[in-house]
Amino acid sequence: MRTVSVKSVVLGEGIPKIAVPVTEKTAAEAVRAAAAASACADLIEFRADHFEGVCDGQALSALLGDIREAVDVPVLFTLRTAREGGVLDCSADLYQSILIKAIDSGKIDLIDVELACGNVPALVEKAHAAGIPVVLSEHDFGRTPENGRILRDLKAMEELGGDVAKGAFMPESGEDVERILSLTREAAGLLQIPVILIGMGAPGRRTRVEGERWGSALTFASVSGKASAPGQIDAGTMRQLLAEEHRRLAAEAVR
């Protein structure tokens, strides 16, 4: 499997990396939150859909520059649409326009592109031309789709040029959690790019912690209780849990 290297962070090997979302509404609040989160994160996920100036290209670019100066970890730019659990209800054209402004800013290290956005190839090409890896993603806050659908979509993400394939779903039962874990292992063996699979809510906690065991490259954690999705664990606690899981796997390997 290929890895994705961004600054000193390598996705797809070792302990899953921790991304902490920044969901503040104002520029000043976002910069402060990013700086605080960078102390316990491997990556910062700037959730642009929460930013009140997201449609103002100049304000967005200025904020991204300020965040870049405030942190020394990679910045993942995410514009999560309302249909996939975000707070911005926007047209496909507006979605594409905002992502292009983020790419053109030169102030981001990775970018999230929703598989359902309608113009994935153009956005992937634009990002790659700027040297920015793409996380292709899909989210379902209501259920966990059938196995075949999830695997087809993850494979499509790879075929469309994504550098990382991400799926986040809402398990409705323990069986759904087991399916997500099993699918993570299957997808990690099937795809040549890093995979992120997450089960949201309290039932999905295992999927956030056991990524190294099953093959998920990145997990999302919160700071000061500001979660961007149901079930996110405090980043400091997450760091400890991932280290404990790593030690368990090492012990199992020598038995």
Candidate list 139, 155, 226, 246, residue with the active-site label = 139
Host H or E run for residue 167:
strand 164-169
Is 50 a catalytic site residue?
no
Host H or E run for residue 201:
none
d(CA 42, CA 150): 27
Task: Name beta bridge partners: 140.
Answer: 169
Candidate list 155, 166, 226, 246, residue with the active-site label = 166
Is 226 a catalytic site residue?
no
User: How many CB atoms neighbour CB 84 within 10 A?
Assistant: 17
Assign residue 14 a region (left: φ > 0; alpha: ψ between -120 and 50; beta: otherwise). Answer: left
User: Which structure tokens are listed for 151?
Assistant: 């695997």
- Is residue 236 within 8 Å of 222, Cβ to Cβ? no
d(CA 97, CA 102): 9
Torsion angles phi and psi, residue 171, rounded to 5: -70, 140
Comparing CA positions, the residue from 197, 38, 36, 25 lying closest to residue 109 is: 38
d(CA 252, CA 13): 18
- Positions annotated as catalytic residues are 139, 166
